[in-house]
Structure 1
Amino acid sequence: MSTALLTARPTTAARPAAPALPAWAPRVPALAALALLPWLAVLAACHETAWVALDLAELTALLGLDALLRRRSPAAFGAACLVALLLAGDALADIGTAAPGLPLLAALVMAGCVELPLAALCLALGRRAGAGQRRRPARRPTAMTSTRARVSSSAPWPSASPTGCWAPSPSSG
């Protein structure tokens, strides 16, 4: 038997481009937030405090994502992840707490047709917004320059002498 050493090879192929989203897709988070308002009123009338709190968090996250998408901010990806997490958690909680029969079927339909597709769309929108921005390299501190040649020393930074001129640090012996 022979043994082979498996190593990861760097790939030179570019990552495939994400599929194009329709022109109306960036408006979906705001429309979903608007659609939550009547449902929040129903939940509040039934005194379902926990569900009201979860749906208010979803509403706030959707409106925040909408604002970041309008500004084309790279932070939209983080907001999209938050929205997707809240929507997936809502779907899981709905399914887990539904009574058998029609309530469970309704929870499954809502999860499969509304909440999880909306989460996937928000992630795609956030990824597209984040991919459009190039990250700037971190700024390096600027070194002080002088007309005289710098004397090399063992210290990484020169120290100031009493005269105010830059001088090398005394090297330890």
Structure 2
Amino acid sequence: MTQSDAPQSTAADEPILEERLDPPPRAVPHWTGWLLLVLGVFTLPWTANLAVALPDKSEAAHYNVSWVGFDLILCALLFRTGWSLLYHRMYVEVTAAMAGVVLIIDAWFDVMSAPDTTEFVRALVLALCVEIPLAIFCLWVAVRVEHERRRRSELMVATVRRLTGRRKRPPQ
């Protein structure tokens, strides 16, 4: 059957619920994506400036509190992701993605801020054997959960469309 052979439908032939199944309006305006892309581009020269201007070494006040706080955030994300997976909570992909990104950041700064060769090797081994694989696992969880959510959503929409298509339309 070609496209010209297919029966032409009119607006009256469409199921009544079809209008309700249209995607909802955007949660944020379309221009916000462009704004973030432009800001990302403008961040590149700033980062290049920092690479040249910042000193190679620096002492930081509250260094231990910074790392403890960062690791507590990581722990909270891992706990929340695990709990959400165990109890089938919604939006587990968000915390899983956040945990994966924080693990990558943690690995980067552990390795790059190591004060000597021994600490550098220890941080590198920990990054390569624990933090990066765990980050990849968390990101895999996020992608799989999002994929399943989309699959279920498409299945639900198809089911509703099929069911509403079988019902008689109310008299006009």
TM-score by length of 2: 0.49
Instruction: Report 1 or 2 for greater relative contact order, CA contacts < 8 Å, sequence distance ≥ 6.
Output: 2
Of structures 1 and 2, the larger Rg is shown by 1
Give the helix-richer structure, 1 or 2.
2
TM-score by length of 1: 0.49
